[in-house]
Amino acid sequence: MTTSNTPNRVEILKDKFNNSVGLPFCDLLPEATIQEALNSLEIKYRRRLFDPFVTLWAFLSQVLDADKSCHNAVSRVIAWLSAEKVEIPSQDTGAYCQARQRLPEKLLQQLFSKVALGLQCKVTPEYLWCGRHVVIVDGSTVSMPDTAKNQQAYPQPSSQLPGCGFPIAKVGVFFSLATGAAIAVVIDVLNTHDIKLARRLYDFLNPRDVLLGDRAFCSYADIVFVKDRQADVIFRKHQARFQELRNGKIVGAHDKQTVWHKPQTCPQGLTKEEFSTLPPTLTIREIYYYIAISGFRTQQVSLITTLLDQTAYSTINLVKLYGFRWDVELDLKHLKTTLGMDILRSKSPAMVRKEIYAYLLAYNLLRTLMWKAGTTYGVQPLRLSLQGTRQHLDNFIPQLLATSGNKCRRIYRTLLAMIVHKEVPERPGRSEPRVRKRRPKAYPVMQQPRCFLRQQMVKA
């Protein structure tokens, strides 16, 4: 490549990215924000085709595409430059892969957080729960290629023989109930308990936030940690905590206030210093109700919350809110199944973490589109289809790339109108059996390393 053409090609690609993939981010992730993050991290880069801006947008388009190979990402960049009077870059993926490796992990993490907080600030009071932001927490796993570096950083399950499994990382995520966007994420090894991941996420809570989670997060210490950040919790009561319903002060039907006492011994996962700072008692509110829906395994649910004001937070509102906890399972399904984050492609731990941040950034891009479409046309953004939004964006990108100015904005408004028509119907109380109809291939499960199996084939 020639040095004289490189800046021109970079500007062409920046313009095309801003008019297509970056258009929904125009107010949340403009070029100035990316440059500000680069300056804050004191990142200096040479004038080349795959500078941080082009590499970031190419990375985003790569994780959004069905074919997530680096070869396809480079081919897309070449196609975008083919109509311009500039030198066409090589189709070799080396330059792009090296550029992705040069992208600092902190840069992707910082940009992901900025976009999430920017979308959070767009939430108006009518989308809040009782005037409060609700954050949902949960954990999940992702697998990655079976390389020595990945195995060392994120070992495979101990029940699998070496060479028969894949490295697996555990991720803990905060999601916004109002927007469905991912707010924060932490990454660790497989055998890390969800509650340890959650404790690393509490710093992302803001005053007056309400943290919603299942029984795995319901512990004395964690309720205190959240309250110390001037936030509140709604957890399902842990199955190991037995307490008679007649104890406590009755404040309503199936609703009472009770006092929990500090554990006598320091629980696992807490230091002695952290345990010593816990207060001796904690006043909480417990709500219990019954489920009589055919097909549901759970018959009785007990909720624990620090929202003690029954007037401001009625029993029925709290029960309804806990019903939305299932949304976090759908958000994780969108990330892992719809976008394909379930199986990562990176061969080093650092690139694995970058890939996760890129997926979360792309996921928030789609949530931004859904929020913009829903608020523009008066439709609940969470009722819109994320898969449909992704499909429409993929189909509209070629048209957005080929235009600019007012025509581009008109096509963008058409895109928002199309997204609104892909609304997911409400199906309360839906119950489906956990079975698979499509049969997998009749091949045995790999129980021995591949090299050993090859030797058996040769001997046979």
Q: What is the pLDDT along the chain (460 residues), one digit of tens a residue?
A: 444 455 588 888 888 787 777 777 777 778 788 888 888 888 887 778 898 888 998 999 899 988 999 999 999 889 888 878 888 888 899 999 999 999 999 999 988 888 888 899 899 999 999 999 999 999 999 999 999 999 999 999 988 888 899 999 999 999 999 999 999 999 999 999 999 999 999 999 999 999 999 999 999 999 999 999 999 999 999 877 765 555 667 767 778 899 999 999 999 889 999 999 999 999 999 998 887 666 556 678 899 999 999 999 999 999 999 989 989 999 999 999 999 999 999 999 999 999 999 999 999 989 999 999 999 999 999 999 999 999 998 888 888 877 777 888 898 899 999 999 888 888 776 767 778 888 888 888 888 888 888 888 887 6
Distance CA 370, CA 418 (A): 11
Chain position carrying tokens 């949530």: 367
Q: Give domain limits for the chain.
A: 6-103, 107-334
DSSP-assigned letters across all residues of 120-147: HHT--GGGSBTTB-EEEEEEEEEE----
Q: Which two tokens stand for residue 341?
A: 């984050």
What fold, for 107-334? Transposase Inhibitor Protein From Tn5; Chain A, domain 1 (3.90.350)
pLDDT at 279: 95
For 388-408, letters b (16+ CB in 10 Å) and e give: bbbebbeebbebbbeeeeeeb
Residue 1: its pLDDT value, please?
41
Exposure letters 412-447 (e unless 16+ CB within 10 A, then b):
beebbebbbebeeeeeeeeeeeeeeeeeeeeeeeee
How many CA within 13 A on the CB side of residue 110? 14
Q: In whole angstroms, give the CA distance from residue 318 to residue 181.
A: 22
